[in-house]
């Protein structure tokens, strides 16, 4: 594998646009691990997430001529990954999205929690969420989409997006409190 410093990202992209297989492999190797993580945020099963990763990279290489060096290339790739994961969710009808909205104003209260929670633990909790909740949470809290954008991407009502996010937050708070209780119990035994 070529060292990333041996070519600039722009040169690498230009070589990919020309169909250079070595450049495509180098680009894949450069971004695959990070983008696999993006896929796993939406899809629980590692094998399915990997399939989505590969399908998305095929689309990236097919559409790489459309990248005009305006904005981040990584952001462009991430958008394709997210869209491919959402497409899979819609096609598999694996997402349960409720159409009513509960006015539940629960915000995560991190003040109640200790400092022993790691980012990896939080990602595991997010992965425990039902698919619809997790999808909306990821799009809103991690990817930064508005409820209007999420509604458009998922073909749902804007209030449904808000409801899903609210319910995801309630469940995450429950998971966080359970985790904290387990940590306290463990520490008391030591």
* CA dist., res. 160 & res. 137, Å (int): 12
- Shared domain for 24 and 60, answered yes or no, is yes
36-93 pLDDT per residue, tens: 999 999 998 899 999 999 999 999 999 999 999 888 999 999 999 999 999 998 887 6
Q: Which of 59, 92, 125 is the last residue of a domain?
A: 92
| Number of folded domains that form the chain | 2
- Shared domain for 115 and 177, answered yes or no, is yes
83-122 pLDDT per residue, tens: 999 999 888 765 544 434 443 344 444 444 444 457 777 7
> Of 67, 80, 78, which is closest to residue 142 (Cα–Cα)?
78
Q: What is the pLDDT of residue 72?
A: 92
Q: Residue 115 sits in a domain of what CATH number?
A: 1.10.10.10
In a domain, 99, yes or no: no
> Of 153, 150, 42, 160, which is closest to residue 98 (Cα–Cα)?
160
In a domain, 149, yes or no: yes
| 66 DSSP assignment | G
Neighbours of 18 (CB within 10 A): 10
Residue 15 reports pLDDT greater than 70: yes
Q: What is the pLDDT of residue 59?
A: 96
CA-based R_g, the chain, Å: 19
- Shared domain for 121 and 184, answered yes or no, is yes
Q: Residue 54 sits in a domain of what CATH number?
A: 1.10.1740.10
- Shared domain for 138 and 175, answered yes or no, is yes
Residue 40 has φ and ψ, to the nearest 5°, of -65, -25
- Shared domain for 44 and 9, answered yes or no, is yes
| 111 DSSP assignment | G
* CA dist., res. 141 & res. 165, Å (int): 9
More confident: 95 or 185: 185
Residue-number span of the structural domain to which 87 is assigned: 4-92
Q: What is the pLDDT of residue 170?
A: 92
């Amino acid at each position: 594998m070529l060292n990333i410093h041996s070519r600039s990202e722009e040169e690498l992209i230009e070589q990919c646009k020309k169909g250079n297989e070595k450049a495509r492999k180098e680009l894949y190797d450069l971004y695959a691990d990070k983008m696999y993580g993006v896929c796993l945020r939406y899809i629980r099963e590692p094998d399915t997430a990997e399939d989505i990763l590969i399908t998305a990279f095929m689309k990236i290489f097919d559409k790489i001529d459309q990248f005009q060096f305006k904005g981040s290339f990584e952001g462009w790739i991430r958008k394709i990954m997210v869209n491919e994961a959402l497409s899979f969710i819609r096609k598999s009808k694996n997402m349960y999205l409720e159409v009513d909205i509960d006015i539940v104003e629960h915000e995560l209260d991190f003040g109640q929690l200790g400092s022993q929670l790691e980012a990896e633990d939080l990602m595991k909790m997010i992965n425990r969420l039902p698919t619809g909740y997790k999808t909306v949470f990821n799009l809103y809290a991690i990817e930064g989409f508005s409820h209007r954008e999420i509604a458009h991407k998922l073909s749902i009502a804007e209030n449904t997006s808000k409801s899903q996010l609210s319910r995801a937050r309630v469940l995450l708070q429950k998971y966080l409190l359970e985790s904290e209780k387990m940590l306290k119990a463990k520490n008391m035994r030591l």
